[in-house]
Amino acid sequence: MALLKKINHRARTDQNSGFGTNANSYGGRFVNKDGTPNIEKRGMHFFRRISWYHTMIDMPNWKFMSILFIFYIVLNFIFAVVYYAIGIEHLDGIEQSQSILTQFGQAYFFSAQTFTTVGYGHISPTGFLTSALSAAEALIGLLSFAIATGLFFGRFSKPTAFLKFSHNALISPYGEGTALTVRLVPFKNTNFTDANAKVTLGMSVEENGTMTNKFYSLPLELDHINALSLSWTLVHPITEDSPLYNMNEEDFRKNHGEILVFITTFDDLFSNTVAARTSYTFNEIIYGAKFEIMYNRSKDGTKTILHLDKLNNFSNSKFN
Amino acid sequence: MALLKKINHRARTDQNSGFGTNANSYGGRFVNKDGTPNIEKRGMHFFRRISWYHTMIDMPNWKFMSILFIFYIVLNFIFAVVYYAIGIEHLDGIEQSQSILTQFGQAYFFSAQTFTTVGYGHISPTGFLTSALSAAEALIGLLSFAIATGLFFGRFSKPTAFLKFSHNALISPYGEGTALTVRLVPFKNTNFTDANAKVTLGMSVEENGTMTNKFYSLPLELDHINALSLSWTLVHPITEDSPLYNMNEEDFRKNHGEILVFITTFDDLFSNTVAARTSYTFNEIIYGAKFEIMYNRSKDGTKTILHLDKLNNFSNSKFN
Amino acid sequence: MALLKKINHRARTDQNSGFGTNANSYGGRFVNKDGTPNIEKRGMHFFRRISWYHTMIDMPNWKFMSILFIFYIVLNFIFAVVYYAIGIEHLDGIEQSQSILTQFGQAYFFSAQTFTTVGYGHISPTGFLTSALSAAEALIGLLSFAIATGLFFGRFSKPTAFLKFSHNALISPYGEGTALTVRLVPFKNTNFTDANAKVTLGMSVEENGTMTNKFYSLPLELDHINALSLSWTLVHPITEDSPLYNMNEEDFRKNHGEILVFITTFDDLFSNTVAARTSYTFNEIIYGAKFEIMYNRSKDGTKTILHLDKLNNFSNSKFN
Amino acid sequence: MALLKKINHRARTDQNSGFGTNANSYGGRFVNKDGTPNIEKRGMHFFRRISWYHTMIDMPNWKFMSILFIFYIVLNFIFAVVYYAIGIEHLDGIEQSQSILTQFGQAYFFSAQTFTTVGYGHISPTGFLTSALSAAEALIGLLSFAIATGLFFGRFSKPTAFLKFSHNALISPYGEGTALTVRLVPFKNTNFTDANAKVTLGMSVEENGTMTNKFYSLPLELDHINALSLSWTLVHPITEDSPLYNMNEEDFRKNHGEILVFITTFDDLFSNTVAARTSYTFNEIIYGAKFEIMYNRSKDGTKTILHLDKLNNFSNSKFN
């Protein structure tokens, strides 16, 4: 693969990528489409390797709710077994004449009523052991809900960058030459200010017989804007200093490489910096195309309308 | 419109405004008076376009409380219907001899007592289905209050910039010449430090036959102060380098343009950076006026009194 | 007052103090000893001028707890009145034969049991109105505790700079000349890194017949340290460029002026920048004194002992 | 100790370490292995010196849970004593014919049922004093759980740097010469970006007959990386400008000194900057060794595998 020869010797390498130069480890992609690094960790016990808070905060809603319900069902079952083992006669209000299944069911619901502190009282504990167990269960219940409260708050107050990236990066006409362009847009009712962008080219290439990871900074026409309210097209002009200067359509098709995009911006509501990442492999780059403007004036002339569905719309504009 | 010709060729353009140069989209205002961008998003389903957390956090108190109450009333109604459908005879304590409406009402209040976990117990569930439903309802109730707790905390801990801007921007006498001045003041018991200001002129002007958005930085005499305790008057001296240098009173009256003001400051109590924005259209600019000082010494000479009601007070001072 | 003449003409003024130059407002102190600005706000209704969250978060514990208890007592009283007005006969379990006071008391405690959702059930609501009221009260109770939870968390998670300043600033011997020194120390089990200090001289002086506020930067020998673990002595060397260069002991005694100190540092546990401020009026400056070292090695030689009670200890060291 | 003579006179001292130059206080280590400063605070009452929030947030889980349980058990005991003192006859549902111990036990569990607001109601308060006490207890219970909720959330939402450092620092071959190397790795499912490293050499040496603390900056080949996804080896090349330039293996073995390492990075999920510190004493430095690469490509070639257990793996590579 002679890609390295094509790289402009003037191109500025980016030594701060954090991915190292050892290419034996290269797994075909540095960064996944959703911005997470394409890395798997091993050699440490799962429980030590996992931040359970990060895990609980990051999982989808249905999974989180399922875990809560299953926890509730299982914990009540365990307590019901212990109540039953201590003796159903210590739960006042359960008739001894009923079937074992019914008695166990009532112990189960007594447990649920204790855990949630609803405590109707038609069943109530007598005797030291059962009373102590129910006192402990009520405490555990409340602490569980304390934890759940924290998790819920953590989940929805987690500062998230509600940014969408165009699915493709384009090589577009730009002045006399060409430029690499990527588009992004805020898609929710947020208010972003002070947005910064950083774009890096990453490649795993052969150098002197061994595979090496090479990273190059791709300078942008504008790498900072004050307000990120409309769509933002990141434009890397392919000048003589660009590592992409000598590459043609075929080079992108035949080689492996990756454009890493990293955005940070300040979210007014969270009052916090939020970050978003994505990457475009060479086969996600469209050569000779141009993003269409995705906003226009409203009919009454008093607003700008931003069309989120046009984020990836582009027109072909082959270069001659 | 020959406004563009009036713009000083020395003026420094601001390419980082984030509003783009395509003026077909210009809706008469870049930024609304309250600082939100004057943009409407379309082309994506409402639920995906909305961050429900941002929405719940940003709405007024009465609306938020109403939503909580309506949610409570409706959810209890749904549960009451299911309890009733399972069979009112499984709710111990409800007399079967009563009217259907009364029975339903009692099922409704049993639901409320379960949802809030008050669980008096004069009505209590029997049978598997009703017991299981009430166990689920108690869980759902507690989780709902967990979510409400998070929302309440999110609402009142949201770092907000309690800053008020003068309603008008003024063209004031300044040294030998004039200056554009805007005033702002912290109006609550907050403690702001490290305040920064950025002022931009935005215009939608005709250039070579097409409408273009033009943005110019307006440098300030002071764009940073260490403590924002008193009022702060932002002063843009209209020197030869200012884009406003050639503009007279009539130019402001006859043309469309906008002064964008962006403030960030550190709130000691939130220990967080907070941001505030506003904008002044040309017809909100008063030509030949000067802000009156809005603070004075207390009678006993031991304090400075800041008069918040004088924020927009100015005296006319026509230029000769 | 000829203080202004004493000020070195080389001294660098600090235009970013945020206190303005208009000295008619000067209330004898710019910043209070506890770091709050010495300013009172007027001209706006109390409720609009107050951020109730800031107020609830900043008040002392005893006051906060008292407000919670009083709120609980008063709210239950109001509900008890309404229960009583609807009719005590709708509260099952209260004997009608008792005295009015006893009945009211029982309505009161029923209200408390509903508000806290303890709901023993020996008293329970019957009839639509009483049932609906108790359902509403249980909701209000839970929402109140949701708010209280948020306030508690807000109170103790509020990033606070646990820093203590020496009570006095000293004019100490320093190399061949003298220096203004101030000492501060972290006094709790916190871990501060990246600490920055800024010191400003503020004076209200006569200039051309009118009183003017003047501010001067006081450059420090070190204005940044990587770890703030031990005591930190801020040293402003009084060189020829210092505004204090010509001032002698009498000048400090006879004139009014103020040293403003502003610290920001990163608290590892809060993972947040925290800020602290204080000020020293000229009569809090001790001329000819030197801070004593406030730490030493532990007896077993394995630790450094920091003596917090020695923060303001200094030895006299009159200059010849 | 002639170590100071060995220090290159070109070496850049680090005056911002925050540890002071007074070496009488040096306790054999500036910073502990876990990153906390090796300092003990005295001279102020324990309760004023301790931030109880920091303490509750920082303690291990088992300790935190134990405190909650003990608090619950003790508080119920106190309330039970008061209920008993007021008179067991005011607790409806407790049979007077039982033994004192049984009666007290039932008062105890009534207290637990009130504190957790489970309120079964088989025991219920009568009379003003007992009713008022139980109303107060229910309030205290809910406020306790409000505080517990905040503490739980504070504990698991505390931004923590899940970074592991190699146990040893190495003096490795580097180009023509040598370098000091330290390795670190993110070991949990976090996403770190914008990582910065600062390395300082700290020594307590004899200078002109008195012990002095000396600090030197150790410049790194790379002190910033954009993404901290893989392992990061900090490399300080021992050039002519390095304070370590003249030191050989014996110098490290015979002298006391310390390498301080400080990392800050941005955690995407917390959306917050997190910090980690560690230190290596001279006897934790291995002379003539080199870290082995700790990641490789997955078998299917689509991922990079990071082996956390190889963090401290190194091969000997004695210099000739």
The interface predicted TM-score (ipTM) is 0.86
Q: Is the pLDDT of residue D64 over 80?
A: yes
Contact between residue D178 and residue D167 where contact means Cβ atoms under 8 Å apart? no
Interior angle at CA D125, CA D124 and CA D131, nearest 5: 140
Q: What is the mean pLDDT of chain B?
A: 88
pLDDT at residue B1, rounded to an integer: 45
Rg of chain B on CA atoms, in Å: 29
Beta-carbon pairs below 8 A across chains B and C:
200
Where in chain C does DSSP place strands (E)? 39-42, 91-92, 124-125, 163-165, 169-174, 177-186, 192-207, 210-217, 224-228, 232-237, 258-267, 272-281, 285-287, 289-291, 295-297, 304-307, 314-316
Q: Is the pLDDT of residue C22 over 90?
A: no
CB pair distance less than 8 Å for D51 and C271? no
Q: Which residues of A256-290 are buried (b: 16+ CB within 10 A; e: fewer)?
A: bbbbbbbbbbbbbbbbbbbbbbbbbbbebbbbebb
Q: Is the pLDDT of residue C155 over 60?
A: yes
pLDDT at residue A33, rounded to an integer: 84
pLDDT at residue D271, rounded to an integer: 83
Contact between residue B261 and residue B234 where contact means Cβ atoms under 8 Å apart? yes
Q: Is B121 on the interface with A (CB under 8 A)?
A: yes
Q: What is the DSSP letter of C165?
A: E
Annotated domain spans of chain B: 2-13+30-39+160-316, 52-157
A79 against D305, higher pLDDT? A79
Other chains touching D, judged by 3 or more CB pairs under 8 Å: A, B, C
Query: How many other C-beta atoms can be found within 10 angstroms of the C-beta atom of residue D85?
Result: 10
CATH fold for the domain made of A52-157: Helix Hairpins (1.10.287)
Contact between residue A216 and residue A10 where contact means Cβ atoms under 8 Å apart? no
Measure D5 CA to nearest chain C CA, in Å: 25
pLDDT at residue B25, rounded to an integer: 63
pLDDT at residue D1, rounded to an integer: 45
Would you place residue A23 in the very low, low, confident or very high pLDDT band (cuts 50, 70, 90)?
low
Map residue C69 onto helix, strand or coil.
Answer: helix
D204 against A315, higher pLDDT? A315
Look-up of token digits 């009283």: C77
- The answer to which of A185-189, A235-239, A245-249, B16-20 has the lowest mean pLDDT is B16-20
B298 against C198, higher pLDDT? C198
D291 against C4, higher pLDDT? D291
| Percent of chain B whose pLDDT exceeds 90 | 51
Q: Is D117 on the interface with A (CB under 8 A)?
A: yes
pLDDT at residue C1, rounded to an integer: 45
What's the average model confidence in pLDDT over D96-104? 89
Shortest CA distance from C152: residue in chain D? D147
**Model confidence over C248-282: pLDDT tens digits?**
888 888 888 899 999 999 988 788 888 899 999 99
- The answer to which of A301-310, C6-15, D152-161 has the lowest mean pLDDT is C6-15
| Percent of chain D whose pLDDT exceeds 70 | 96
Nearest to A39 among D222, D230, D310 (CB): D230
Other chains touching C, judged by 3 or more CB pairs under 8 Å: A, B, D
CB pair distance less than 8 Å for C18 and B226? yes
What is the 3-class SS of chain A, one letter each residue? CCHHHHCCCCCCECCCCCCCCEHHHCCCCCECCCCCECEEEECCCHHHHCCHHHHHHHCCHHHHHHHHHHHHHHHHHHHHHHHHHHCHHHEECCCCCCCHHHHHHHHHHHHHHHHCCCCCCCCEECCHHHHHHHHHHHHHHHHHHHHHHHHHHHHHHCCCCCEEECCCEEEEEECCEEEEEEEEEECCCCCEEEEEEEEEEEEEEEECCEEEEEEEECCCCCCEEEEECCCEEEEEECCCCCCCCCCCHHHHHHCCCEEEEEEEEEECCCCEEEEEEEEEEHHHEEECEEECCCEEECCCCCCEEEEHHHCCCEEECCCC
Measure C268 CA to nearest chain D CA, in Å: 7
Would you place residue D27 in the very low, low, confident or very high pLDDT band (cuts 50, 70, 90)?
low
Q: What is the mean pLDDT of chain C?
A: 88
Q: Is C18 on the interface with B (CB under 8 A)?
A: yes
Rg of chain D on CA atoms, in Å: 29
Q: Is B51 on the interface with C (CB under 8 A)?
A: no
First-to-final CA distance of chain B = 27
pLDDT at residue C255, rounded to an integer: 84
Six token digits for residue B33: 């008076």
Would you place residue A84 in the very low, low, confident or very high pLDDT band (cuts 50, 70, 90)?
very high
pLDDT at residue D24, rounded to an integer: 63
Which residues in D lie closer than 8 A to residue C145 (C-beta atoms)? 142-143, 146
Mutation for A interface: B15, B22, B25, most A CBs within 10 A: B25
Contact between residue A142 and residue D116 where contact means Cβ atoms under 8 Å apart? yes
pTM of the predicted model as reported, rounded to 2 decimal places: 0.89
**Model confidence over A187-201: pLDDT tens digits?**
988 888 889 999 999
pLDDT at residue B319, rounded to an integer: 65
Other chains touching A, judged by 3 or more CB pairs under 8 Å: B, C, D
pLDDT at residue D18, rounded to an integer: 73
Tell me which architecture the domain covering D2-13+30-39+160-316 has in CATH: Sandwich (2.60)
- The answer to which of B1-10, B128-137, D24-33, D193-202 has the lowest mean pLDDT is B1-10
Map residue A46 onto helix, strand or coil.
Answer: helix
Q: Which of residues 221-260 of D touch C (CB under 8 A)?
A: none
Measure A42 CA to nearest chain B CA, in Å: 35
Element at D169 (helix H, strand E): strand D169-174
What's the average model confidence in pLDDT over C153-164? 88
Would you place residue B169 in the very low, low, confident or very high pLDDT band (cuts 50, 70, 90)?
very high
What's the average model confidence in pLDDT over A214-219? 90
Would you place residue A268 in the very low, low, confident or very high pLDDT band (cuts 50, 70, 90)?
confident
Which residues in D lie closer than 8 A to residue C110 (C-beta atoms)? none
What's the average model confidence in pLDDT over D227-252? 90
pLDDT at residue D106, rounded to an integer: 94
**Model confidence over C296-309: pLDDT tens digits?**
888 887 888 899 99
**Model confidence over D164-196: pLDDT tens digits?**
999 999 999 998 899 999 999 999 888 888 899
**Model confidence over C176-229: pLDDT tens digits?**
899 999 999 999 888 888 899 999 998 877 777 777 888 899 999 999 998 888
Q: Is the pLDDT of residue C25 over 70?
A: no
